[in-house]
Structures are given as structure tokens and as C-alpha cells.
Structure 1
């Protein structure tokens, strides 16, 4: 008997349990429901392509709603599920000085009225702070698009981890 892969388990998981795992990737119900309904996926690539395509259709409201599940860069995750908390902690490994983020986060929130979101995985604190500075100069529409793209990247990284064998 061939061992079941993570993708096999995703394809056959009960919808309620899978929904909880997918919400930890991106807490956007329409995305979660669609990924569950579109099963089975013949391969990792098809799942990731479908997830990415659906993420590109997220509305501003979808993204802002999901931001309520993301802690500020440099802050400990509070009130998140165990999976969300684990993702956040791992992704923020590049944060060397959480105090440096207090002022940076406040500036961003004053400018755009929401939490700064960036795919932190694989980035140093200096890189993330430079991105925040660059993005402060964008207009609202450009920043909305960038915020959605960052959330899409985060969701796909988390989804890839979910199906890693």
C-alpha cells in the first residue's frame, strides 16, 4: 500500500476540519469554501494555481477582514488559532528588534488606517523596514493592491507548508 501524501489527505479531509486549516492560511471564507469545493486536486501545482487565482479575486473588504487575524510586525500573536500563531512566529523570524517596529507600525497605520502586511518569511528586518518606507510613499490604490498581493503570497506559503510531505 502506498503511503498517503499530504495532498491526498487534503483531498479527502472532512470539510469542517479542512476549512479550519485553510483559514489559518487566509481567513477569507469565500476562498476557503472554493478550495474545498474544487477538490480533488490532481497535484500540488493545480491546488496552488487554483488558490492563487482565487486569491487574486479578493476584494478590499476580504483583505481588510483578514488583516484582523494578523498581528503587527514585531508583536506576539494574540487571539489567533494555534496554527495561525505558529505561522506568524515562524514568518517573523527576521524581526531582530521588535521595538523598532512600534514607530514604523504607527506611521503606516496613520497613513493607511490598517495594519502593515508584508510577507515576512525570508526577509530581514532591514528589508521589511525598507519596504514599509517605500510603501508609505504609495497612493491608497497602489497600497491596497500591494497589501492584497502580500496576503496572497502569505496564504500560498502557508498552503505549501500544509501540503508539504
Structure 2
């Protein structure tokens, strides 16, 4: 009786174990959205990436590394691609972002990300506009910050602090902020339900 239970137990255990050659590993960070992104035709995948970041070089690197086993693999590839962007590539990426306090009309992404400015006073909005213009005159591009979760005051304080940076220092801060924004946008992309 013991041996029969032992055989039965061993049989049940082996039946539950997938054969490594035929069963794909299940990763806790896989999502229907990631599976869908991996399966997209190249033009559609490029369009989806362009909505996250306007840099052609960044999108090209992410496309070349598909398919991604996990969302974290996608984020890591994004960080690596961002680290290698040239000044010209960064300028292209920044061109896809509206000034803080002035989200693109009809663009729910920029409106959502800049939510902290939506309830700001007229005085704060006017100050932010002045600071944006001064920043743009100094650096030649919009002030860029990962605004998700920040208040209008925090964004104003950040531009006040950063306007004194050297162009080289500011370029690296912008690179870091773009990387954070890209991660948030990619997370939204891969969290979407699979589409028919």
C-alpha cells in the first residue's frame, strides 16, 4: 500500500512538471499587453513606441531587441537605448514633449502627466510660463521633467533650480527625466489588455 501510494505520488508529481523542452517559462511580469507588443507588425510597433518617445534611434533599438520575455526586460532595453542617445537624438526626443503647463490640446497623455499644473493658480501658471521661456532661451529646448505625481509648485521649483545648470549637466538631467517618462509610458503600453 505504501509503495502504491509512493508510485501514485511520483506519478502525480511528474505529471505536474512541464517538460523543459516543450513548455515556455511563465514569468510573473508577462502581460497580455507585452505579448501583443511583441507580436505587432514592425510599423505598428514603431508607432506604439513613437507615442512613448519621439526618438527614432531609441525606437529602433527597442524594436531590434524584440521579443521581450518580461516587462522589466523592455524597461532595461529602454534605459540602455536612452543612455546611448546622442545630443541630436535627445533633441528629437524632447521635441515630442509640450512645455510644462501647456499640454498638447487633445493629447490625454500629456494632460495626465501634467495633472499637477491643472489646478495651479493663474499666478503660478504665469510664473511657469516665464520660467519656461527663460529656460528655453538658455538651453534651446523645453524644460523637461517627469511630471507624473508632481505638484505645480514642485515643477516650478525644479525649473528654478535647473536653470542655473551648465548645458552639459542639464542634458544629462534631461536624459534621466526622459528615461523615467519612457518607463512610465512603456508600463502603460504593456499593461493594456490584449486587443482582438
TM (norm. structure 2) is 0.75
Q: Does 1:72 align with 2:99?
A: yes
What's the CA shift string for 1:11-69, capped at 9, x where partnerless?
A: 11111111111001111112212211211111111111111111111111111112222
Aligned pairs for 1:99-138 within 5 A: 99-138=126-165
Paired residues, number = 157
* Structure 1 residues 163 and 140: alpha-carbon distance in aligned structure 2, compared to 1, 3 A threshold: same
Q: Does 1:51 align with 2:83?
A: no
Q: Does 1:88 align with 2:115?
A: no
Among candidates 41, 52, 59, match of residue 14 of structure 1: 41
| Aligned counterparts of 2:110 and 2:38: Cα–Cα separation in 1 | 25
Runs of 4+ aligned structure 1 residues displaced above 3 Å come to none
Q: Answer yes or no: is the 8 Å Cα contact 1:74–1:92 preserved in 2.
A: yes
Q: Does 1:144 align with 2:171?
A: yes
SS state of the match for residue 163, structure 1?
A: helix
> Higher Cα Rg: structure 1 or 2?
2
What's the CA shift string for 1:85-121, capped at 9, x where partnerless?
A: 2211110000024333211111111221211111111
- Runs of 5+ consecutive residues of structure 1 not aligned to the other structure: none
Aligned CA-pair RMSD:
1.5
Q: Does 1:41 align with 2:41?
A: no
